[in-house]
Structure 1
């Protein structure tokens, strides 16, 4: 038999306002340690230099991570014109420069081409896998590889500030898998002036806002105390984009055993993915069919 993981059986979401200079995995490890939790994971990686919302799931809430990962997210970022880097951000080496600078009107016109369903090539320095290897590992080894374009839905991309001729501040709302660094790179190329990201902040992710996030300093100061538990949000927050269906005690018992269970109310259409609750507590996620939920994710009581 495998060895059981030590730690508390604690479930919920912690919204962290990630600082620059730390990896997303390091944040998760710190949160797991601070709560003494058995299990933790995050919903969407942020680059080490980026700040903002990093939603960390504990315990049973890790089963809701895909719904936050798939949710819309908002980013505010600064693009530096005139310089291209090998990482598409300020951390990389300069590979080209340009004296051209776009006007505000040219920027706004170019941004329209990045809205809707687009195809985006991830940066050479990214976690994309190529023949089993991470792209960043190959790039660090000096290999230049061809990365296939990936689909991305961009709901909006707006210019919010133009501090000077060399910089522009943009805000983007997009779906899963977007690379802000690629937006900056491609925008600079389209405008004929080159560009890279100098600052990036995730403003919100699904139901979680950066302004509600807890700092790493506070996490460390409250570690291993009941006061930290008070910052934990219920796992049900991770299901905010799915219809909620109320069930009975008998229905909940069937659902927790992996069987279809009756639901009393429904905001869902036949075949929709939804979640069942008993007294406000999540029981299962599944497919709604004719008064029953057919579960494919079950939450422990």
Structure 2
């Protein structure tokens, strides 16, 4: 098997994704612009959605789970009065309603969508059914019984109701959430139906729009030191974990995947990351003076 060519470059590049592109297409553009050997993203955005898409390069790909698991914030607009087969404006209208709720009814309904809830993914989603993506079957006209999945919703607030047909909402939630499903289920709970007409992710874990660059900037600065300088450190993704300092001997052991001595004191068994000379060495569990690594970084 041929080895993938490219630079051994590590870090995070946060993109303000435009509408119309898949998350994979954005990652491929970033990989090309940085001539990176390895790249991935932390949390898919639908093609029609915009906002924060954090692209991990090189050793940063080892920290992707910490962003995937982190809370994320979405600002989205719901159109009332119609359900679509995709739960957004890209799909076909399958049902309509003349009923419209007032603001008080909307506020009252939102409470059922906060906290730990169960959510059925949209028919047009990347959920796998017998090894095949649900959206592939949905495109063929198949209607599936998708299992409900747990989702933690930290907050869901009505930001604006500019007219009787439109809601502007903001949601902070954990991993695995479908904003389209929230719009669908809220519309049904209100008795008026609904679907998403616009969606923007405004922050994801430690990354927000202040960190983001446009794809136009990526293209303009492609394969230049200016774009390299925009990379955020690998450890940015570890902001929610405590940092411990590895000793000389500890760093050497950790770099080979062995338990290593660290300085600092946190709760026994707590997850943490170890640094050495200002760079991350490993992530693992603190076991009384030592870090037992789960992931090891090779940053030279």
What's the TM-score, normalizing by structure 1? 0.98
Q: In the alignment, which residue of structure 2 is the partner of 1:222? A: 221
Asked if 1:137 is matched to 2:141, the reply is no
Task: Quote the residue 1:62 is aligned against.
Answer: 61
User: Which residue in the other structure is 1:269 paired with?
Assistant: 267
Question: What's 2:279 paired with?
Answer: 281
Q: Which whole-Å CA distance do the structure 2 matches of 1:137 and 1:145 have between them?
A: 11
In structure 2, the partner of 1:31 is 30
Aligned partners of 1:128 and 1:265: how far apart in 2?
42
Inter-partner Cα distance in structure 2 for 1:15 and 1:8: 19
Quote the RMSD (CA, aligned, Å). Answer: 0.7
User: Is residue 100 of structure 1 aligned with residue 133 of structure 2?
Assistant: no
CA–CA distance in 2 between the matches of 1:211 and 1:180? 23
Match of 1:151 in 2: 150
Alignment of 1:1-301 (within 5 A): 2-266=1-265, 268-300=266-298, 301=300
Q: Structure 2: how far apart are the matches of 1:280 and 1:98?
A: 59
SS at structure 1 position matched to 2:155: strand
Once the two structures are superposed, what CA deviation does each residue of 1:210-258 show, in whole Å capped at 9, x if it has no partner?
Answer: 2321000000000011110111000010111111111112111100111
Distance in 2 of aligned mates of 1:215 and 1:163: 29
Q: In structure 1, what is the Cα distance between the partners aligned to 2:253 and 2:47?
A: 44
User: More deviation in 248-257 or 31-40?
Assistant: 248-257
Q: Give the drift of 1:163.
A: 1.0
**Which has the larger displacement, 269-278 or 166-175?**
269-278
Extract unaligned runs of 5+ from structure 1: none
* Displacement after TM superposition at 1:131 (Å): 0.8
Matches of 1:105 and 1:144, distance apart in 2: 34
User: Residues of 1 paired with 2:10 and 2:104: CA distance?
Assistant: 49
User: In 1, distance between residues paired with 2:234 and 2:100?
Assistant: 47
Q: TM-score, normalised by structure 2?
A: 0.99
Distance 1:147 1:256 in 2: 43
Moved runs in structure 1, 4+ residues, more than 6 A? none
List per-residue Cα deviations over 1:118-177 (Å, max 9, x = no partner): 000000000000111100000001110100000000000000111110001000000000
Alpha-carbon distance between aligned partners in 2 of 1:122 and 1:231, rounded to the nearest angstrom: 35
Q: What is the Cα deviation at residue 4 of structure 1?
A: 2.3
Cα deviation digits, residues 48-98 of structure 1 (max 9, x gap): 000000000000000000000000000000000001000000000000000
Counterpart secondary structure, 1:236: helix
Partners of 2:79 and 2:7 in 1: CA distance: 46
